[in-house]
Structure 1
Amino acid sequence: MYNTIPDQLRKLAIENVFSTNTYRNCWQTWQPEIIRLLGNNYTENEILNIGDHLSNIFRSTGGGGRGQGELSASGTAWESLVCWYINLCTIGSRVVAIKKMSIVPKAIQDAITVNYGNFACNTESDITIIVFPDLVEYNTDINQLNILNNLGNQIQPIVRNKFNLKITNHLAERDFNQFEIGIIQCKTNWNDNAQIPMLWDMIYSAGGFRGRNITIGRNGYNIQNAQSFSYSFVTVPSNQNTIYNPNGVAVKRVTNLSGGNYWGNPSVQNVAKSLKEIFTNNFQTGSRTGLRTDIRTAIPELTTNNSLAYFGLY
């Protein structure tokens, strides 16, 4: 169970999150608080509702300093927590959230690259969301698969009872126009950073600005050729004593993002949605039975040292 290509990539993404000292240190504080919020005999409701509390969970580790080191560590921790939560809520689906760019399939890395003259950049993709197509290769245990890759003049098996990144690279090239792609920019501070997602979403939505030598994509891959593309903003926010309202400048800047504006608090109309709403807004097609059903099915595996132990909830 939980041995499909999306499931295996999800596991790798979460293992990469836990590989950092910053996240492991924070997790010592976050994990007991998450367990407390879930309560005994929790259901899919409690898991999804963690999205209403992510900001308080994040703040529980303190670290409100404004030095560059504190800001960098804080930003990394927030990105990692968001990545963990999205993957938790998409267990068993074809939706995967990835923080480490090197494990994103190369075709998708190429498609989201912004070229400014001869300079290529995709550094504002804090988290990349992949929705794998609803094809047999992505819904079947990899032990039952034998995917063939045309390598030179020979057809050789690259999948047989084993997962590696060659699988996702090959399949993303083959099925690129059926993949859905999402970019999530994560910032702890809303006021200082709201203009950044606004401008990046403009560039992606416009497909670049050729008159200014700004283009999207490389090696023949472009987000416009994918099944769909969205750009979202997720903030804590860490701004002290700030009241956000629909007419505020920071709110206005992210109001019309293609993927929406979210935070780790309950939704406030015309200000920001709880992060738990990102699934129905952007990634509904990633599950045959619905994310709630997928989570419900996964709960027994989350609470034991079993196939989903890598989430750290048992």
Structure 2
Amino acid sequence: MYNNIPELLRKEAVQRLFATNTFNNSWIIWKPEIQRILGDNFDENALLNLGDFLTQIFRTTGTSGRGQGELSGGGAAWESLICWYINLCTVGSRIVAVKKMSLVPEPIRDAITVNYGNFGCNTESDITILIFPNLPEYTQDINTLNIQNNQNQELPVLNRNGKLNLNALNFLASRDFQQYEIGIIQCKTNWNDNAQIPMLWDMIYSAGGFRGRNITIGKNGYSIQNIHQFTYSFVTVPSNQNQNYSSNQVAVKRVTNLSGGNYWGQPTEQHVAKSIKEIFTNNFNNGTSGIRNGIRNAIPKFNPNQVLSYFDII
């Protein structure tokens, strides 16, 4: 179950989070707080409900009395925490969250490229969500796979270092492109100063570009218009912790109609923001047969020396 292509990519994505000083230094403080919130003998509900506490967890690396721009680790730490949480809750599924764009298959990167004239730029994609097609190549153990390219040459799933062979992943993403689903998540610690950014990017993607202004989406024949589903979401701390948000505020209105919704790391507040734990059923339901079932089955595997111990939650 945990030796297929999505799970190999998930492991690589999470391990790369821990390879950064920002995440590692924060994790020293976050891990005890996460364990305190979960308690002993936690179940799938406790893990999923961590989404209601991510703001609280993130703020443990701040200093009392300091401003919103001085939270330890800043935006990179928040992005990493969200990426870790989404992967934690989607183990055993075809949903994978990736922070490093270099791990995203080339056809997917091409599809989300926005072109302004001859200049191609990447979106503000802090986290890219891949929902792999429900095909044997993505659900079966890699030891049973025989992937051949268009020249009938075998493409090994693993490279010499035992990591996922991205050439094989690029080939599959090209072959099965129309069956993929993509989610882009923009993460910001500050809501007030950044709400207009996801609003404008979502407008561009939803409109399919603006050809009259020579703004197009996609390259090399890949476009989000040709995939199964695309969503754009916003996830904030928010670091403006002394502010009470309401549905009438400009910052809230700017992200109300995003295709993927707006979320934060605390319980849902009606007409303001949903808890990040709601993003799974809202946007990624096609990639799983049940989030809670997947988490429940995975819990024993989080123990040290088990296949999912790389999450470092126990």
TM over 0.5: yes
Secondary structure class of the residue paired with 2:76:
helix
Alpha carbons 2:61, 2:72 under 8 Å: kept:
no
1:8 equivalent to 2:5? Answer no
Q: CA deviation at 1:108?
A: 0.2
Alpha carbons 1:201, 1:258 under 8 Å: kept:
yes
> What is aligned with 2:79?
79
Q: CA deviation at 1:100?
A: 0.3
In the alignment, the residues of structure 2 paired with residue 298 and residue 60 of structure 1 have an alpha-carbon distance, to the nearest angstrom, of 27
1:156 equivalent to 2:157? Answer no
> What is aligned with 1:117?
117
In the alignment, the residues of structure 2 paired with residue 225 and residue 186 of structure 1 have an alpha-carbon distance, to the nearest angstrom, of 26
In the alignment, the residues of structure 1 paired with residue 20 and residue 54 of structure 2 have an alpha-carbon distance, to the nearest angstrom, of 19
Alpha carbons 1:177, 1:226 under 8 Å: kept:
yes
Q: CA 1:115–1:92 in structure 2 vs 1: closer, same or farther (change >3 Å)?
A: same
Q: CA deviation at 1:72?
A: 9.6
> What is aligned with 1:133?
133
Given residue 137 of structure 1, which amino acid in structure 2 is its aligned partner? E
Alpha carbons 1:142, 1:159 under 8 Å: kept:
no
1:42 equivalent to 2:39? Answer no
Q: CA deviation at 1:304?
A: 2.9
Instruction: Give the number of equivalent residue pairs.
Output: 308
Query: After the TM superposition, which residues 85-234 of structure 1 pair with which residues of structure 2 at under 5 Å, given as runs?
Result: 85-150=85-150, 154-159=151-156, 163-234=164-235
Given residue 169 of structure 1, which amino acid in structure 2 is its aligned partner? N
Q: CA deviation at 1:142?
A: 0.3
In the alignment, the residues of structure 2 paired with residue 27 and residue 72 of structure 1 have an alpha-carbon distance, to the nearest angstrom, of 12
In the alignment, the residues of structure 1 paired with residue 68 and residue 272 of structure 2 have an alpha-carbon distance, to the nearest angstrom, of 25
> What is aligned with 1:296?
296
Secondary structure class of the residue paired with 1:155:
coil
Unaligned runs of 5+ in 1: none
Unaligned runs of 5+ in 2: none
Secondary structure class of the residue paired with 2:231:
strand
Given residue 263 of structure 1, which amino acid in structure 2 is its aligned partner? W
Given residue 16 of structure 1, which amino acid in structure 2 is its aligned partner? R
Q: CA deviation at 1:159?
A: 2.5
In the alignment, the residues of structure 2 paired with residue 246 and residue 233 of structure 1 have an alpha-carbon distance, to the nearest angstrom, of 16
Residue deviations 1:180-210, cap 9 Å, x none?
0000000000000000000000000000001
Q: CA deviation at 1:119?
A: 1.5
Residue deviations 1:238-292, cap 9 Å, x none?
01421100111110000000000000000000000000000000000101x3111
Given residue 62 of structure 2, which amino acid in structure 1 is its aligned partner? G
In the alignment, the residues of structure 1 paired with residue 157 and residue 260 of structure 2 have an alpha-carbon distance, to the nearest angstrom, of 36
Alpha carbons 2:129, 2:182 under 8 Å: kept:
yes
Relative to the length of structure 2, the TM-score reads 0.95
> What is aligned with 1:253?
254
Secondary structure class of the residue paired with 1:156:
coil
Given residue 133 of structure 1, which amino acid in structure 2 is its aligned partner? P
Secondary structure class of the residue paired with 2:230:
strand
**Greater mean alpha carbon deviation, residues 53-62 or residues 300-309:** 300-309
